[in-house]
Structure 1
Amino acid sequence: MNPELKAPSLARRMACWLYEGMLMFGVVFIAGYLFGTLSQTRNAMDNRHALQAFLFVVFGIYFVWLWAKGQTLAMKTWDIRVVDRSGQPITQARALLRYVLSWLWFLPALAAVSPFNLSGAESVVIILGWVAIWAVLSRFHPQQQFWHDALAGTRLISAPRVSRKTS
């Protein structure tokens, strides 16, 4: 295997994942404000499903656009890049497939807790437990990639910053 296509450590990828989650608060805030303003929603429970669908689309636009360019802001911070199996930049179609498959981080756990009347804390524990399991499952992939990347034909690689010479 090409050493340039080696996956970053699991700890680094998960640190990037957490940082991405923090950055998404800003995206959610702006998108939620825009949705509430345009739909004239006065109560947070009104139009809840429409807001969720809107956020799904906004997240998709955010990730597909940035992954097709190679990196999100969090990925730049952690020197990680998304490429296809051969190390080439991914297309928007492949980025869209990766986005849809990346919901495997949450959907199985959400589906498991939805039929039960669990408290918020219990749901969070189950969802975070699934996230940990999904992350650890990458250890069983031959190149240590996340399984949604393997299914999408993408991979995360280390992408050290190129230092700029100042003259």
Structure 2
Amino acid sequence: MPATIAQSELPSTPPIAPSRLRRFACMMYEGVLLFGVIFLAGYLFDTLTQSRSGLMLRHSRQVFLFLAMGVYFLACWRRGGQTLPMKTWNIRLTDRGGQPLRGSRMVVRYVLLWPLPLLTALLIGALSRAMGWPSLDLLIVAAPFSIFIWTWFDPHKQFLHDRLLGTELHDLRQPA
């Protein structure tokens, strides 16, 4: 009598990660929506603090905007693991077991999104000053895309912050 293998004993196939192009398009769409979030949060900050210039209370403003973006992402991820652009591009954020993220993992993921782009921006600024070519500062627009570098080394094409935290982006499109 042949031995049967229980469903739980079968090797699970890794989730299909969205292509880099789809993640890039999602990121661009996210930037458009974040413009509105930042605009409204900045307006609220200026109204509440009566600041007359973007340089007044600069560091407080940056913290407030960082928190406002965090609230946006956490609110969206909490409801199904998707922001509007992620819904549009059929991408969902889950843990490694395919379950929605909860609580502190969402907060840690948001915080872990920032170090690599910020380090890239600092490197671009330092390179610009060291070479004496102010035009190199234009490369700062490439800093957010530094998060894609790890996807070429990761076996499941996940971002570094997702690998570290145990989260994954899933392609929700039906396989052909």
| Shorter-chain TM-score range | 0.7 to 0.9
- Name the structure 1 match of 2:7: none
The verdict on how the C-alpha distance between 1:78 and 1:91 changes in structure 2, with shifts beyond 3 A counting, is same
Measure, in 2, the Cα distance between the counterparts of 1:132 and 1:91.
26
Measure, in 2, the Cα distance between the counterparts of 1:119 and 1:42.
33
More divergent stretch after superposition (25-34 vs 3-12)? 3-12
Aligned positions, number: 160
The verdict on how the C-alpha distance between 1:126 and 1:31 changes in structure 2, with shifts beyond 3 A counting, is closer
Tell me the secondary structure at the aligned position of residue 83 of structure 1: strand
Aligned-residue RMSD, C-alpha: 2.3
Structure 1 residues not aligned, in runs of 5+ = 162-167
Measure, in 1, the Cα distance between the counterparts of 2:146 and 2:49.
38
The TM-score with structure 2 as length reference comes to 0.81
Are positions 1:139 and 2:152 aligned together?
Answer: yes
Q: Give, in angstroms, the shift of residue 105 of structure 1.
A: 4.3
The TM-score with structure 1 as length reference comes to 0.85
- Name the structure 1 match of 2:123: 112
The verdict on how the C-alpha distance between 1:14 and 1:2 changes in structure 2, with shifts beyond 3 A counting, is farther
| Contact residue 117 and residue 147 of structure 2 kept, 8 A | no
Structure 2 residues not aligned, in runs of 5+ = 1-10
* CA radius of gyration, larger in: 2
Tell me the secondary structure at the aligned position of residue 155 of structure 1: strand
Are positions 1:93 and 2:107 aligned together?
Answer: no
Fraction of identical pairs, as percent: 42
The verdict on how the C-alpha distance between 1:37 and 1:23 changes in structure 2, with shifts beyond 3 A counting, is same
Q: Give, in angstroms, the shift of residue 68 of structure 1.
A: 2.2
Measure, in 2, the Cα distance between the counterparts of 1:151 and 1:4.
17
Choose from 4, 23, 45 the match for 2:55: 45
- Name the structure 2 match of 1:148: 161
Tell me the secondary structure at the aligned position of residue 106 of structure 1: helix
Q: Give, in angstroms, the shift of residue 51 of structure 1.
A: 0.5
The verdict on how the C-alpha distance between 1:131 and 1:36 changes in structure 2, with shifts beyond 3 A counting, is closer
> Which structure has more RCO (C-alpha within 8 Å, separation ≥ 6)?
1
The verdict on how the C-alpha distance between 1:139 and 1:75 changes in structure 2, with shifts beyond 3 A counting, is same
